[in-house]
Amino acid sequence: MDEERQATFGPDGELETEAPEATGTNDFGEETGADETDGGFNRYAVVSLLQKAVRRGDEEVSAWCAWELARSGFGWNLWDRLNTFVVEDLQADAQAAPLVGRYEELAEEWDMDSRRGQMAAVQAALVVARARSAREGANAVNAFHAIAKRRAEAHERDEEPAHSFPVTGGDLSAGGRYDVALDGHTGEGARLNRSSPFFRVHGARVGPEGETDVSARWKRLYLALDEYDYTDEEVAHALSAADSADPWAEPEFE
């Protein structure tokens, strides 16, 4: 055994050695090109394959791509792409982001040339591959940019745009659909003299499940002790969940 390699026990109990440092040659003993992995693959192609494997939930291919990049000295590229995939290719409520970040910290601590560093890379790739794939952020940004362009073109022609944002100018004005947003924190809300009670009754409501029991109890107590005298109707509304069918519906109070 090469005495420069550290002997370790692998997960199956077999004696293993730490991965050697990069030698500048591939698995066949041939000198690697600038963008060639140790297995003889093009780095850009492996990165692209990793992203497609993540989107399709192919765990084995994702794990291999991560290992191939990690062992070939392209760990920096791997982590950059995995973090990008978390933003581009996963459902927004996925827990992958903090896990990938932690695995990256461990890989850097252990060194990407070590087996543990490479295992951290594989684990991160598996986390991303197993998460719910959905290009929500990417599709939203693309759609909003496209709408903005067409909206500007229609404005130049003095026409109504065929497509618009989910919020129009009229919506975000007093009496509009999103009137509740114009609380005392905004210039319009201050002009309308909407002080803290408006925010507590209207702006601080949550939905669609509403407040938790303990949060509702604390809010009810706070409203009871506040210097403003809230009506029973206002307290009930402040504690009610926003309507899932129309989350922006707000009644008028005398």
Mean pLDDT of the chain: 88
Question: Can you give the pLDDT at residue 253?
Answer: 62
Q: How many CA atoms lie within 13 A of 192 on its CB side?
A: 19
Per-residue burial over 3-24, b = 16 or more CB atoms within 10 Å of its CB, e = otherwise: eeeeeeeeeeeeeeebbeeeee
Q: Is the pLDDT of residue 205 over 90?
A: yes
Question: Can you give the pLDDT at residue 251?
Answer: 77
Compute how many other C-beta atoms are within 10 angstroms of the C-beta atom of residue 148: 14
Q: Is the pLDDT of residue 6 over 60?
A: no
Q: How far apart are CA 125 and CA 58, in angstroms?
A: 10
Question: Averaged over 208-220, what is the pLDDT?
Answer: 94
- Domain positions in the chain: 7-130, 170-254
Q: Residue 30: which residues within 8 A CB-CB, separation 6 or more?
A: 40
Question: Can you give the pLDDT at residue 150?
Answer: 94
Cα angle 11, 17, 21 (rounded to 5 degrees) comes to 125
pLDDT band, very low/low/confident/very high, at 235 (cuts 50, 70, 90): very high
pLDDT in tens, 14-48: 444 444 344 588 899 898 888 999 999 999 999 99
pLDDT band, very low/low/confident/very high, at 211 (cuts 50, 70, 90): very high
Q: Is the pLDDT of residue 214 over 80?
A: yes
pLDDT in tens, 136-160: 999 999 999 999 999 999 999 999 9
Q: Is the pLDDT of residue 228 over 80?
A: yes
